[in-house]
Amino acid sequence: MPSPSARDLLIARGVRCTPPRIAIARLLLEGPPRHVTAEQLHDELARSGHPVALATVYNTLHHLCAAGLLAPLHVERGRSWFDTDPRPHHHLLHEDTGEITDIPLLDLPLPRLPEGTELVRADLIVRVRGR
């Protein structure tokens, strides 16, 4: 089964189709899951012939997160990463290289949540070093 078209994904989630959003959705949502930063994506858009202002890249990334098409990823100080696979799963961070890889969903033991709160997400980041 081929990936659904970027346009259809946007429409399905009620996100307005504009040229920058379509270009971004095409790069991120058609094809295999990846992790990107805003800066990376900004460069990639320019190189692919669809230059988009950095501010618009951030805007769109946040919109796509809110729409559930991306997941934000906080692994290190400074940069924000975005995961093109919004389904629950975990991450392994190689601290020497900065490389992030996915870990299939582990069945984590979760604590009892405080009264009246609901779970948003449980992020597990396994940090490793070495060769």
Partner DNA sequence: GTACGTGCAAACGTTTTGCAGCGGG
Partner DNA sequence: CCCGCTGCAAAACGTTTGCACGTAC
87 binds a second copy (CB under 8 A): no
5 binds DNA (CB under 7 A): no
How far is 25 from 42, CA to CA, in rounded Å? 13
Size of the site for a second copy (CB under 8 A): 37
Main-chain phi, psi angles of 81, to 5 degrees: -110, 155
Nearest to a second copy of 47, 77 (CB atom)? 77
Which of 59, 31, 26 lies closest to 45, judged by CA? 26
State which of residues 1, 2, 19, 116 lies at the interface with DNA (CB under 7 A).
Answer: 19
Nearest to a second copy of 15, 125 (CB atom)? 125
Which of 84, 18, 79 lies closest to 50, judged by CA? 18
Which residue shows structure tokens 């190189």? 47
* CA-based torsion, 8, 33, 110, 67: positive or negative: negative
**Which parts of this chain interact with a second copy (CB under 8 A)?**
72, 74-77, 80, 92, 94-95, 101, 103-104, 106-111, 113-131
Binding site for DNA (CB under 7 A): 11, 16-21, 37-39, 51-56, 58-60, 62-63, 77-80
